[in-house]
Amino acid sequence: MLTVHHLGVSQSDRIVWLCEELDIAYELKLYQRAPGFAPEDYKALTPYGTAPAITDGDLALGESGAIIEYIVAKYGEGRLTVRPDAANYPDYLFWFHFANGSMQPAMMMDLAVRMATGGPPPEAAAWIGDRIDRGYRIVEERLAQAPFFAGEAFTAADIMMLFPLTAMRGFTGRELTPYPNLVAYLGRIAERPAFRRAMEKAEPGRTIELI
């Protein structure tokens, strides 16, 4: 049985959402932070000890991108992905990996420097800020071209991209007024029944606001 080990307010939101979009059988096990960090029994699930984590029989797997690829390949029956011979396959690959490969690290750098120093030095602020600004700019441009990151259809790339655009954005305080296409996109995501079900299960009692 596939088990999603969910740590509240973390990237494991993605995995619950994915399972709901695919409408597959899974067990959801909720964990509470202790305090602010993953509890010891959660850390023991995978070598690096961070969220998200799944178990599937004897398999234990971490890293949200790896988990999503595993679930889609094993249980997805071709859904929420793009065939390598499709014209939009490069778009799918780029945005699937851009989330954790570029945009989220820039936001994490900004957050970490501010926490460590009380505010980044001017040279660091300019460098980090430029990377974050570029990320929002290309997101806005992409969503002017297509309703979803891979194109006309919702895919796993959207599941990957939502976390930096919502939870991480909340930590950094980015104002969305300059990004009307992104605001419209978040509205579309908020209306997805599978997303609503996932948040009700993963974050019970918490109001989820995307905008």
Tens of pLDDT, residue by residue over 39-89, are 999 999 999 999 999 999 999 999 999 999 999 999 999 999 999 999 999
The boundaries of every CATH 3.40.30.10 domain in the chain are 2-80
**CA nearest neighbour of 36 among 56, 25, 51, 19:** 51
pLDDT in tens, 132-169: 999 999 999 999 999 999 999 999 999 999 999 998 88
The boundaries of every CATH 1.20.1050.10 domain in the chain are 89-194
Q: What is the pTM of this model?
A: 0.94
* Token pair of 37 as six digits: 């960090």
Poorest-pLDDT segment among 40-49, 183-192, 202-211:
202-211
> With respect to CATH, is domain 89-194 assigned 3.40.50.10540?
no
For the chain, give the percent of residues with pLDDT over 70: 98
Cα–Cα distance measured from residue 136 to residue 178, given in angstroms and rounded to the nearest whole number: 10
Q: What is the pLDDT of residue 112?
A: 79
pLDDT in tens, 163-180: 999 988 877 778 999 999
> With respect to CATH, is domain 2-80 assigned 3.40.30.10?
yes
Does the pLDDT value for residue 29 go beyond 80? yes
Give the model's confidence band at 123: pLDDT under 50 very low, under 70 low, under 90 confident, else very high: confident
Contacting residues for 168 by C-beta, under 8 A, at least 6 apart: 104, 107, 108
Q: What is the pLDDT of residue 124?
A: 72
Would you tell me how many other CB atoms lie within 10 Å of the CB of residue 177?
6
**CA nearest neighbour of 202 among 1, 14, 45:** 14
Average pLDDT of every residue of the chain: 92
Which residue carries 């700019």 as its tokens?
137
Strand order across the 59-62 sheet: 27-31, 2-7, 53-56, 59-62
Cβ–Cβ under 8 Å, residues 120 and 145: no
Q: What is the pLDDT of residue 172?
A: 75
